[in-house]
Amino acid sequence: MNQDQTENTSLSNTQKVLSSLIAGGCAGAVSKTTIAPFDRAKINFQVRAEKFSYRRCFKFIKDTYRKDGFICLYRGNSANLARVIPAAAIYFSAHEQWKRLLNTDKYEKTPGRRFIAGSLAGLTSSTITYPLDLARARMAVTSKTVYTNLFSVFLTVFRTEGVFALYRGALWSMIGVLPYSGFVFFTYESLKHIRLDYQSHRPINKTERMCFGAISGLIGQTVSYPFDVIRRRLQTAAVIRPNERYLGAIATARKIIREEGITSGLYKGVTMNWFKGPISIGVSFMTFDTLIKLIRQSSLFSQIS
C-alpha cells in the first residue's frame, strides 16, 4: 500500500467523495481553460474536410484573434467549463469509488482493475454530461449569430432537431471513452507505482505527477482519437453538413475513410492533441492531486462527516 492510499485512511467515504468532487471540478476548469484556443482550432478541423497542419491551425487562431478579438479564441469555453467542471468532478470522484468497489491495488497490485476502474469512471462521467459536450462542440464551430449562449444551443436543438438530438453520437462517445479513460488512469497509476517502487522513501512531487499525467494523456488520446473525430462529426453535422445530419456513426466513419483516408481523416488533428493533450491531462492530474491533499488536510474539511 503506497503513500497515496495510506495518508487519508481516517476519512469517511462521504469526505472522500466531497473532496474529490471539489478538487476534480477545479482541476478540469484549470486544465481546459489552459488549452481552450487550441481545442477550438482542433474541433474546427475535425468537422471539416480541410487538411490539418500546425501552420493552418495557428493561422486559424491568428485570424480569429484579428477578426473577432482575444475573447473569441475562448468561444465555447463557457459551455466547455459548464461541461468540464461537473464532468471532471464526477470523473475523478467516480474513479476513486470504482477503485474502492473493485479493491484496486488494495492488497496487491492489480493492473487489470486499474484499467477497468478508469474506463468505468470515464463512462460514468460521459453518460451524465454528454449534452453539455454536444453544446460545447456546436458553439466552437459556429458564430454568435447561430448560438448566442449555452442556453440557446439547448433551446434551438430541442426545437429544430428534437430532444434525442442532444444525445446524438452519445453511444459512440461512450464506446470511445472506455479505452481513453482506461489507458489514462491505468498509465498514470502504473507510473506512480513504478516510481514508488524505485524510490519509496521520497513522496511523488508535482513535476513528476504532471509528467505522469502528460504521458498518460498522450497514450490515451492517441488510442481513442478516431472515436473523438466521429463524435464531433455527429455532434456538428446539423450546423456544418446538413445533408449528413441523419448519418449514423458507422456511415460517418466510412464516409471519412472514403473521402479523406484514415490518417488525414480519422486522425486529423491528432498532432494537435499530442501538443495540447499532455499539457491538459498533466495540469489536470497535478492540480487534482495538489488540491485534494490541501482539502483533505484542512481543519474545516475534517469537520464534515
pLDDT above 80 (res 48):
no
Percent of the chain with pLDDT over 70: 93
Query: Rounded to whole angstroms, what are the CA distances from 85 to 30, 89, 267, 299?
Result: 9, 6, 27, 25
List pLDDT tens digits, range 290-303: 999 888 887 656 66
pLDDT above 80 (res 140):
no
Q: Phi and psi dihedrals of 160, rounded to 5?
A: -95, -25
Confidence band for 3, pLDDT divided at 50, 70 and 90: very low
| SS3 of the chain: helix, strand, coil, percent, to 5 | 80, 0, 20
List pLDDT tens digits, range 193-252: 999 988 888 889 989 999 999 999 889 888 888 888 888 888 888 877 777 777 888 898
Give the angle subtended at the CA of 227 by the CAs of 20 and 159, to the nearest 5°.
Answer: 85
pLDDT above 70 (res 1):
no
**Across residues 148-155, what is the average pLDDT?**
85
How confident is the model at residue 6, as a pLDDT?
A: 44
List pLDDT tens digits, range 81-118: 877 899 899 999 999 999 999 999 988 889 999 999 99
> Which is more confident, 77 or 127?
127
Q: Where are the domains of the chain?
A: 168-268
Name the most confidently modeled range: 4-18, 67-81, 195-209.
Answer: 195-209
pLDDT above 70 (res 7):
no
How confident is the model at residue 8, as a pLDDT?
A: 53
pLDDT above 70 (res 146):
yes
CA atoms within 13 A on the CB side of 98: 24
What gap in Å lies between CA 252 and CA 233, rounded to an integer?
A: 8
**Residue in the block written with cell 474529490:** 20
**Across residues 186-195, what is the average pLDDT?**
93
**Across residues 276-294, what is the average pLDDT?**
88
How confident is the model at residue 305, as a pLDDT?
A: 53
CA dihedral 265, 53, 149, 173 (to 10 degrees): 30
Percent of the chain with pLDDT over 90: 26
Beta strands in 158-199 (DSSP E): none
How confident is the model at residue 116, as a pLDDT?
A: 96
pLDDT above 50 (res 2):
no
